[in-house]
Amino acid sequence: MSSDLSNFVYGAVAGGVVAVALRILETYWIGPRLTASREAREKLLLYSRHLYFSCGQAAFRLRYIGKQIREKRPGIVFLKRSPKDAKSIEWFTKDGYYVTSTAYLIALVACWIFILQRDIVFLPFKRKADTREFLNLVERLKTGLSTRTILWYHYIDGLGERLIRQDSDHPRPMGVSQFSQKLHTDEMFRDYYDQLMQFLSQVASGAYLEQIEEAAKTLDQLRRFLVMKRAVSEIEIGAADVEW
């Protein structure tokens, strides 16, 4: 075999080996990683939209509560109600609705944070510094609500964890109607949220005003962060968007 022909054959074989190796690399390593990365990004965007909206609703409610306290509005007394007083599910749509929906809005934020934190290793923001900033804001929120109050730090995680639906293949929170129903019919569930209800009752008496106002500011910062990192588009949250 001539030298030129030999070089041609060896080059063709080597090229074929390289092509096969690249195809294997693409099929079993690069392809799955790109797919996983795309799916993770889509999941991050989905969770972020839910967190953004729930933060806006909770911040609006907490600021309104602060205004009620400062202006001594009589409606604040409805935060003193307790699900333990409910004689029927109707209580949650009337006398107990304000305290129930307020507890739900706080738990809803905690729920989406819990879901995001659980998946944060698999759902990174574009830069590690962004992930660190997000976790710092979450830390500020939980620390603010649990410092010099009757709430405790890890209890806030539990509020969110308990709100996750058990009948769904994908992690998502229950709605306010199911939340109300479980508070009425599930004694263990009601007892778990009782500490939050007591917290809101004390808020209605004028306690923890600084904490709830700071929490509202931190929720606004979380929303701005998600917009700046292009996880969501900015949406103005008003009274019509809040579960009253």
* pLDDT (tens digit per residue) in 34-82: 344 567 677 777 888 899 999 999 999 999 999 999 999 999 999 999 9
Residue 233's pLDDT band (boundaries 50, 70, 90)? low
pLDDT at 36: 43
Torsion, Cα 215 93 197 159, to 10 degrees, reads -70
Q: Given the structure tokens 């933060």, which residue do they identify? A: 55
Is it the case that residue 234 has pLDDT exceeding 80?
no
Exposure on the CB side of residue 144, measured as CA atoms within 13 A: 17
pLDDT at 22: 43
Alpha-carbon span 39 to 41, nearest angstrom: 5
> pLDDT digit string (tens) for 112-133?
999 988 775 555 566 777 888 8
> pLDDT digit string (tens) for 171-220?
899 999 999 999 999 999 999 999 999 999 999 999 999 999 999 999 99
pLDDT at 132: 85
pLDDT at 48: 86
Q: Calculate what percentage of the chain has a pLDDT beyond 70.
A: 74
pLDDT at 116: 85
Q: Which of 10-19, 37-46, 80-89 has the lowest mean pLDDT?
A: 10-19
Three-state SS for 164?
strand
